[in-house]
Amino acid sequence: MRIFGDSISGNCLKVKWTADHLGLTYDWVETDVLKAATRTAEFLAMNPAGQVPAIILEGGRPLAQSNAIILYLAEGSALIPADAYERARMLEWMFWEQYSHEPYVAVARFQVRFQGKSVADLEPRIVERGKAALRRIEDGLAASSFLVGDHVSLADVALVAYTREAEDGGFRLADYPKVQAWIGRVEKALKII
Amino acid sequence: MRIFGDSISGNCLKVKWTADHLGLTYDWVETDVLKAATRTAEFLAMNPAGQVPAIILEGGRPLAQSNAIILYLAEGSALIPADAYERARMLEWMFWEQYSHEPYVAVARFQVRFQGKSVADLEPRIVERGKAALRRIEDGLAASSFLVGDHVSLADVALVAYTREAEDGGFRLADYPKVQAWIGRVEKALKII
């Protein structure tokens, strides 16, 4: 398997962490988004959406979208709950992540860290919705140590990727103590620090 | 099962279509987003994200996020391919829909149809990315009659919901002939017209 990813991207790191956690063998192909490496004809032939991460499976079959990739890789593993309802709640967090978390928490971080914008100049909408997303995770951790029950799942993999970098976008994790503690637990469970 | 949905929302219709296609029994609870029915304390206790659709399963267990709901409802049915790779491609389309299609194609339609904005006043970014999303579907239909092979799947359910309404947001479906034909096939397969 080949993983095309940019190491500065949380979406790409989700795939790396999942593959490493499962002990899968792969070649990492560093793909620099800032240098438009996802816009070459060769890359677009593999993923017409022009986004990383993307993987090439044995036999040459491509697959894109971070959360679709980790669901594929982790099928049958303990990262996906066996119970149908818990699995559905995991997917609820994963779709919510792409719609209501990444476009704010990750975009704020990208603009500040890689595009040189100051936190004060971020769009208010991005800041407000990013804070709401972090609050939602804080509330989601009220009764369990991980997002779906007391075992690490792909919901945690998907959400921790940009949440642990949220301060780069001007968010204060100290305002979300359960989130802070959860980040540490997920990092430990995935051995990512 | 109770489905909380707003009939003007494609995300909510995905759930209705899937339940109807599968012959499931449910009560539809019309939930008016424009009247902030998703912001009441009662609604937020069920779905803290404050979004429709949301469902209450037998036993009172809640579930939100349109694509997570339809994946739960359709488990084991022909709407989800049995092959692991085809299933992953279906999920790829579904995550892409929430990140790269809905925020442009659905948002343009919402602003024009329900907020009174003229097509000419839409943010150029929304128009450009909406067109790119429609082009991506057009290209995705080059070799098959549905998005994943030649059988209707949840990828088609998820993508058709707002694509069939795209003209309300100023997009011209005649520019995407494969998409136009596919909309008809999906509507027929799901019996939604």
Instruction: Choose one of A21, A49, A73: the last residue of a domain.
Output: A73
Considering the domain architecture, whether residues B107 and B167 belong to the same structural domain is answered as yes
Q: Is residue B79 part of a domain?
A: no
Considering the domain architecture, whether residues B159 and B88 belong to the same structural domain is answered as yes
Note whether B44 contacts A: Cβ–Cβ < 8 A. no
Q: Would you write out chain B's pLDDT as a tens digit for each of its 193 residues?
A: 999 999 999 999 999 999 999 999 999 999 999 999 999 999 999 999 999 999 999 899 999 999 999 999 999 999 999 999 999 999 999 999 999 999 999 999 999 999 999 999 999 999 999 999 999 999 999 999 999 999 999 999 999 999 999 999 999 999 999 999 999 999 999 999 7
Considering the domain architecture, whether residues B67 and B147 belong to the same structural domain is answered as no
Q: Is residue B78 part of a domain?
A: no
Look up the pTM and report it: 0.97
Of B49, B95, B103, the CB nearest to A65: B95
Considering the domain architecture, whether residues A12 and A66 belong to the same structural domain is answered as yes
Search chain A and give the residue with CA nearest B53.
A92
Q: Which domain holds residue B11?
A: 2-73
Of B64, B92, B103, the CB nearest to A65: B92
CATH at B159: 1.20.1050.10
Of A63, A75, A88, the CB nearest to B72: A88
Considering the domain architecture, whether residues A139 and A181 belong to the same structural domain is answered as yes
Considering the domain architecture, whether residues B98 and B170 belong to the same structural domain is answered as yes
Q: How far is CA A144 from the centre of its chain?
A: 20
CATH at A69: 3.40.30.10
* pLDDT mean across residues, chain A: 97
Instruction: Choose one of B50, B73, B96: the last residue of a domain.
Output: B73
- Chain B residues inside the 8 Å CB shell of A67: 91, 95
Q: Is residue B29 part of a domain?
A: yes
Q: Which pLDDT band, with edges at 50, 70 and 90, does A17 fall under?
A: very high
Q: Which ipTM value was assigned to this complex? A: 0.96
Interface test with A, best of B14, B46, B57, B65 (most A CBs within 10 A): B65
The DSSP result for chain A, as a single string, is -EEEE-TT-HHHHHHHHHHHHHT---EEEE--GGGTTTSSHHHHHH-TT--S-EEE-TTS-EEE-HHHHHHHHTTTSTTS-SSHHHHHHHHHHHHHIIIIIIIIIIHHHHHHHTT---GGGS-HHHHHHHHHHHHHHHHHTSS-SSSSTTS--HHHHHHHHHHTTGGGGT--GGG-HHHHHHHHHHHHHHT--
Considering the domain architecture, whether residues B99 and B69 belong to the same structural domain is answered as no
Instruction: Choose one of B39, B73, B107: the last residue of a domain.
Output: B73
- A193 pLDDT more than 80: no
The number of domains in chain A is 2
